[in-house]
């Protein structure tokens, strides 16, 4: 009897910062189950999602193409994914696979799955603590059992939402990494966050009413990651119980990282700083992927689909911009791509060029954080990108602009299309580019003012009650 072709289980952990995983050296034990699993496979320490956020990042992951290849650069991509590309779900479907997507229906990047299942993956303070990963498991485990009972191999994609705001992990994870007083009246660290008009209503819809401490919110993010990790262990156990552990390629990644209290891009994922660009990436497949390997090579989202197909023994004549990572796993050399083009079109429209030593960011229209048009960071001296040295290093700016523009011209010529960062002018949903930062600041908005007003009233009541107790 012919051996069944390998299954694929792909975990897309939305907004997961690489540097907040114990797998990557974080001092909080946020990912113990993934840590243990990853030790039996290959971990990539310098994986990047160059075109953020979700739609463009996952478009690249699912097609093996860069943003010039996908023509997708914005969160609010207009129209469908182009017919010139084929997604991983479509490729595997043509190979006789059953394909199911959990938690990512309706997005252009998820085209081609045969089955789409959803779960409750958001939440608010009024609704209570969000059991996002348990909601996912309630859908994903029965689907895994159904797929396992079929004769055909399967591709199951799980989009975990726990690291995505709102961060509302359930008990005991909400206090796992915090033992202070989140309502300390002397702590003013959340003042600038709540003073940021475009997002303040959204924050008020899920921050505890009266919360003053930004470290509490960061601890909620870490708690959400730890909660997700525990729930992922349920999926892994189900896989073992079904006897599929040795016949399934496991891939773990994220569409992008997250800005927590960084760069004034609070508790979201805009800004093409490394906290957003760096993603986790590891592969586990007994007999095909060696155990206990970690690689420092620079790799990108576009490399994931070619790697998956290579490991699964599926050949295709499709053009990919990315390249398989399997040579590294097999102990062979692979030419790196250490400098690359970066973009964002989430709440700001920017692009730039990253090398191992430098990061250049150029605003293509004024942004609502009132940042300078040109940012330059020395990644060796300033890895957290806190000191813009563009004015002090004009020659470096000139050099990086030249390399970036040469790359753009090359890719435009190869694809026969204009760079999508220049053509997606309705990226914000407001019809045209912003003329000033003031216009952007006063136009862009997320959250419900009505909900914020109710929560602010609740906060006042909370403060009144606390004051009465103190008296």
Q: What is the pLDDT of residue 431?
A: 87
Instruction: Assess whether pLDDT exceeds 50 at residue 187.
Output: yes
Question: Could you identify the residue written with the tokens 């189950």?
Answer: 33
162-183 per-position pLDDT tens digit: 999 999 999 999 999 999 999 9
Instruction: Assess whether pLDDT exceeds 90 at residue 452.
Output: no
Q: What is the pLDDT of residue 1?
A: 34
Higher pLDDT, 429 or 31: 31
Instruction: Assess whether pLDDT exceeds 60 at residue 449.
Output: no
Mean pLDDT of 305-315: 97
Instruction: CATH number for 7-334: choose from 3.30.160.270, 2.40.50.180, 3.40.720.10, 3.40.50.11710.
Output: 3.40.720.10
Q: How far is CA 184 from CA 16, 189, 212, in A?
A: 28, 10, 6
Q: What percent of the chain has pLDDT over 90?
A: 90
Q: Is residue 456 very low, low, confident or very high in pLDDT (cuts 50, 70, 90)?
A: very low
Q: Is residue 467 very low, low, confident or very high in pLDDT (cuts 50, 70, 90)?
A: very low
- Taking the domain 342-443, which CATH number applies? 3.30.1120.10
The residue ranges of every structural domain in the chain are 7-334, 342-443
Instruction: Assess whether pLDDT exceeds 80 at residue 463.
Output: no
């Amino acid at each position: 009897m012919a051996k069944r072709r390998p299954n694929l289980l792909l975990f897309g952990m939305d907004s997961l910062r690489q540097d907040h995983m114990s797998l990557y050296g974080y001092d909080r034990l946020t990912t113990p189950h993934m840590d243990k699993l990853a030790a039996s496979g290959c971990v990539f320490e310098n994986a990047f999602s160059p075109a953020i956020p979700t739609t463009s990042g996952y478009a690249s992951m699912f097609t093996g193409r860069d943003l010039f290849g996908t023509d997708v650069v914005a969160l609010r991509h207009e129209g469908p994914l182009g017919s010139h590309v084929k997604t991983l779900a479509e490729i595997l479907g043509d190979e006789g696979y059953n394909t199911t997507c959990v938690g990512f229906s309706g997005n252009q990047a998820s085209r081609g799955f045969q089955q789409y299942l959803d779960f409750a993956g958001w939440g608010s303070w009024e609704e209570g603590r969000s059991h996002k990963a348990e909601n996912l498991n309630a859908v994903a485990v029965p689907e895994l059992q159904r797929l396992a009972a079929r004769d055909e191999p399967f591709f199951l994609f799980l989009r975990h939402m726990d690291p995505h705001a709102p961060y509302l992990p359930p008990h005991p994870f909400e206090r796992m990494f915090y033992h202070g007083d989140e309502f300390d009246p002397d702590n003013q660290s959340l003042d600038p966050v709540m003073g940021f008009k475009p997002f303040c209503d959204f924050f008020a819809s899920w921050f505890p009413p009266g919360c003053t401490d930004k470290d509490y919110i960061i601890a909620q993010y870490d708690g959400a990651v730890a909660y997700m990790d525990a729930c992922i262990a349920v999926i892994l156990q189900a896989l073992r119980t079904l006897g599929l552990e040795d016949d399934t390629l496991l891939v773990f990644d994220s569409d992008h990282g997250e800005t927590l209290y960084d760069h004034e891009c609070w508790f979201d994922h805009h800004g093409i700083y490394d906290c957003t660009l760096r993603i986790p990436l590891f592969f586990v497949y007994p007999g095909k992927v060696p155990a206990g390997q970690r690689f420092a090579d620079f790799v990108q989202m576009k490399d994931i689909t070619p790697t998956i197909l290579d490991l699964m023994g599926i050949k295709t004549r499709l053009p990919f911009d990315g390249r398989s990572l399997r040579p590294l796993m097999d102990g062979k050399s692979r030419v790196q791509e250490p400098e690359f083009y970066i973009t964002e079109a989430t709440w700001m429209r920017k692009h730039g060029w990253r090398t191992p030593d430098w990061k250049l960011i150029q605003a293509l229209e004024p942004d609502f954080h009132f940042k300078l048009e040109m940012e330059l960071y020395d990644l060796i001296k300033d890895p957290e990108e806190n000191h813009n040295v563009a004015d002090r290093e004009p020659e470096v700016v000139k050099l990086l602009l030249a390399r970036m523009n040469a790359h753009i011209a090359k890719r435009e010529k190869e694809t026969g299309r204009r760079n999508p960062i220049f053509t997606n002018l309705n990226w914000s949903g407001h019809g045209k580019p912003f003329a000033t930062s003031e216009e952007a600041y006063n136009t862009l908005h997320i959250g419900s003012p009505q909900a914020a007003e109710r929560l602010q009233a609740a906060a006042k009541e909370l403060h009144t009650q606390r004051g009465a107790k103190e008296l």
